[in-house]
A = this chain, B = another copy of it.
Amino acid sequence: MGTDSTGADQRQPVMADVAKLAGVSHQTVSRVLNGAPHVRPDTRDRVLAAIRELDYRPNSAARALVTRRSQTLGVVSFDSTLYGPASMLDGIERAARSAGYFVSVTSLRSLDGRSVQEAVDRLRDQGVEGVVVIAPQTSAVSAVSRLSSSVPLVAVGSGDQTRVPMVSVGNRYGAGEATGYLLDLGHRTVHHLAGPANWLESQDREEGWRLTLQAAGAPVPEVERGDWSARSGYQAGLRIARLPDVTAVFCANDHMALGLLRAFHEAGRHVPQEISVIGFDDIPEAAYFTPPLTTVRQDFGELGRRALELLVGELEGAVSPPAQVQVSPELVLRRSVGPSARR
């Protein structure tokens, strides 16, 4: 580019350029930019005009350097391809934006302690003011609890007492609702297709299911286990379809329920006539499964939003007590459930 014929060089304008053009000091420009009081209206106008004319953009690095605030939050996500994490990320980003923060993401393949620590460190090195960890696995949660971090941190996912503020869904409650609903329909008991053993969501949902059965005096069948994918649900479904006395299955998520439905269909087991199926999540597609899936709805976006609120509170508010926020799930009735065939 070089220097053009007017002699003005092409470099980005800085505050001093604006100041000169407006005939004020750079500090006054700064004051206008930051909405400081005691700037005379016509001065402000001149400054704003100069800013517009030069298309001036404040340098965020310089500002961050002196204010020690980057206006940026970090998110550590796990496989943000999945509907849940993706929705949370979305919720977090939107909430962050409206609170005036940027969001820097980093996505993990595995949630072992080292990876989480690394991710948080990386974000911290970048200068984020706080971090949200989407931490659905026990390993991640314990990693987060142990985290040697000077950055405010909030976890979202399931989970119990940790030192870290946490937002989670009432997984136990939701699982209990689903299980109880099936029992009320006359099913002698309810089978369970659980998620991976090291995920908190799995554990909580399984526990909610188990406690409800026990409270009702129903037998507790052996748990089947998948990895959240439709494929694993399908495989588990083939196994379950061979068991003669199954009349109801509660799946730990909708994707596995989809695979399960597929397997039952292939095995000639009719849903809901012979077997009732309930999922968890209420992904947008669940209503269009064959048959439409009864499921436990959780609002991932809300989860993300709440997590962000917590973090911003910690950042800007005084000292917040390590909070534990719960978002309640809700049973959504569709056609994959019916009364027990064997009364």
Q: Which residues of A contact B (CB under 8 A)?
A: 12, 57-62, 64-65, 70-72, 79-81, 83, 86-87, 89-90, 93-94, 97, 102-107, 122, 124-127, 150, 229-231, 233-234, 255, 258-259, 261-262, 265, 284-285, 287-290, 292
Contacts and interface: CB of A to CB of B under 8 A. Distances in A.
Nearest to A124: B57
Contacts of A122: 102
Contact of A80 (B90, B150, B229, B285): B90
Contacts of A70: 61
Given A104-B103, A106-B97, A287 B230 contact: yes
A90 B122 CA distance: 17
A288 B234 contact: yes
18 contacts: A57-B124, A57-B125, A60-B126, A60-B127, A61-B65, A61-B70, A79-B90, A80-B89, A83-B83, A89-B105, A93-B107, A229-B284, A230-B288, A255-B285, A261-B288, A262-B288, A262-B290, A285-B285
Nearest to A89: B80
Nearest to A68: B61
The secondary structure that dominates the A interface is helix
A53 B289 CA distance: 58
A291 to B, nearest CB: 9
Contacts of A106: 93, 97, 102-103
A284 B233 CA distance: 12
A60 B125 contact: yes
Nearest to A286: B230
B86 A81 contact: yes
A233 B289 CA distance: 12
Given A103-B106, A261-B288, 8 more contacts: A57-B124, A61-B64, A64-B64, A72-B126, A81-B90, A102-B104, A234-B288, A290-B290
A229 B57 CA distance: 40
Given A103-B104, A106-B93, A230-B284, A127 B59 contact: yes
B290 A261 contact: yes
A87 B81 CA distance: 5
Counting chain B CB atoms within 10 Å of each CB, which of A71, A105, A259, A289 scores highest?
A105
Nearest to A69: B61
A343 to B, nearest CB: 28
A135 to B, nearest CB: 17
A231 B284 CA distance: 8
A289 B106 CA distance: 32
Contacts of A64: 61, 64
A193 B315 CA distance: 48
B93 A105 contact: yes
Counting chain B CB atoms within 10 Å of each CB, which of A102, A104, A255, A284 scores highest?
A102
B90 A292 contact: no
B90 A107 contact: yes
